[in-house]
C-alpha cells in the first residue's frame, strides 16, 4: 500500500530545519553499513545543509553517509544555479565527508548522457538487477510553486516514465532540460521528506495535501513500502484544514 503522508507542523523555519536534521541523523546512526540520502536543491534545503555543517556537525556519521542528488539543473558544477554547488558551499566543503561519498550529476555534459551516467552510478552503488530500482534510506524533496518536485514539472515528459531511474526532462517554461530522478525511484525509498516553509507555499500545500483532484507531481510521490513525511512550518500550514 502507498504510504499515507505524516504531516508534522513546526512553529518556525528554524524548528523545521532542526527536525529535518535530527531525522537524518537518527536514521543514519541506527543504520548498519552505508546510509544513502538524495538531496534537494532550493533555499529551504540550503538552511538544512548549513545546520548539518554547523551546529549538528559532530552528530552526523559522515563516514557512512553517501550523498546523491534528486535532480540537477543543466549547468556546470560551478554555476550559480547548480544544486551541487549550493550543497558543496553550504555543507560538503565544511565537513569531513569523503569525496567518494558524494555522487554529483555531471550536468556540464549533454543532458541525456548525464542522466544515463547517473543512472549507471545508481545501478552500481545499489548493485541493481537490470529492472531493479534503488532503495534510498532517505530522500529530501521540496515543493515548487507549481506543485513540482525534484525536476518533475507539470506537463513534462518524465511524469510518465516508469522504467528509467534518471532522465533528461525538458521543462518548457524554462526552455531547458533538467536531469531528474523518476517517480519509481522516489517511490521505492524507505523514507521521503518534503520540506516546506513560508506563507507563499500555503495555497499550493493545501492543493497537494487536500485536493485529490489537483493531479500535481508532488501528489504522485507515495512510497510503496516506506514513509512519507511532510515537514512544514506554521506559515506554510496556514491553509490546511487539519
Convert the pLDDT of each residue in 119-164 to its tens digit. Answer: 999 999 999 999 999 999 999 999 999 999 999 999 999 999 999 9
pLDDT in tens, 183-206: 999 999 999 999 999 999 999 999
Q: How confident is the model at residue 182 (pLDDT cuts 50, 70, 90)?
A: very high
Q: Is 179:72 a contact under the CB 8 Å cutoff? A: yes
Q: Which of 121, 204, 216, 112 is nearest to 167 (CA)?
A: 112
Task: Indicate if the pLDDT at residue 9 is higher than 80.
Answer: yes
- What pLDDT, on the 0 to 100 scale, is given for residue 1? 79
Q: Is 40:136 a contact under the CB 8 Å cutoff? A: no
Residue 224, helix vs strand vs coil: coil
Q: Is 190:228 a contact under the CB 8 Å cutoff? A: no
Beta strand spans in 70-137 (E): 71-73
Domain boundaries along the sequence of the chain: 26-196
Query: How many separate helices (H) and strands (E) can be counted in the chain?
Result: 6, 9
Q: Within 13 Å of residue 162, how many CA atoms lie on the same side as its CB?
A: 2
Task: Indicate if the pLDDT at residue 226 is higher than 90.
Answer: yes
- What pLDDT, on the 0 to 100 scale, is given for residue 3? 78
Q: What is the CATH number of domain 26-196?
A: 3.40.50.1360
Q: Is 138:187 a contact under the CB 8 Å cutoff? A: no
Q: Which of 22, 228, 37, 65 is nearest to 135 (CA)?
A: 37
- What pLDDT, on the 0 to 100 scale, is given for residue 43? 84
Buried b (16+ CB within 10 A) or exposed e, 83-121: bbbbbbebbbeebebeeebbbbbbbeeebeebbbebbeb
CA distance 42 to 55: 21
Amino acid at each position: 500500500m502507498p504510504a499515507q503522508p505524516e504531516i508534522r507542523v513546526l512553529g518556525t523555519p528554524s524548528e523545521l530545519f532542526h527536525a529535518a536534521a535530527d531525522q537524518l541523523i537518527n536514521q543514519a546512526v541506527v543504520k548498519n553499513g552505508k546510509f544513502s540520502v538524495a538531496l534537494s536543491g532550493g533555499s529551504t534545503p540550503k538552511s538544512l545543509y548549513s545546520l548539518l555543517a554547523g551546529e549538528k556537525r559532530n552528530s552526523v556519521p559522515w563516514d557512512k553517509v553517501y550523498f546523491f542528488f534528486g535532480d540537477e539543473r543543466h549547468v556546470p558544477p560551478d554555476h550559480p544555479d547548480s544544486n551541487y554547488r549550493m550543497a558543496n558551499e553550504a555543507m560538503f566543503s565544511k565537513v569531513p565527508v569523503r569525496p567518494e561519498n558524494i555522487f554529483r550529476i555531471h550536468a556540464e555534459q549533454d543532458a541525456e548522457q548525464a542522466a544515463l551516467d547517473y543512472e549507471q552510478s545508481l545501478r552500481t552503488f545499489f548493485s541493481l538487477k537490470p529492472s531493479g530500482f534503488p532503495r534510498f534510506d532517505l530522500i529530501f524533496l521540496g515543493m515548487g510553486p507549481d506543485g513540482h518536485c525534484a525536476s518533475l514539472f507539470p506537463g513534462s515528459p518524465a511524469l510518465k516514465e516508469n522504467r528509467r531511474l534518471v532522465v533528461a526532462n525538458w521543462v518548457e517554461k524554462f526552455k531547458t532540460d533538467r536531469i531528474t530522478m523518476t517517480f519509481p525511484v522516489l517511490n521505492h525509498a524507505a523514507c521521503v521528506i518534503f520540506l516546506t516553509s513560508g506563507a507563499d507555499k500555503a495555497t499550493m500545500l493545501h492543493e497537494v495535501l487536500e485536493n485529490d483532484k489537483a493531479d500535481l507531481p508532488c501528489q504522485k510521490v507515495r512510497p510503496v513500502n516506506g514513509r512519507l513525511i511532510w515537514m512544514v512550518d506554521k506559515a506554510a500550514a496556514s491553509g490546511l484544514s487539519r
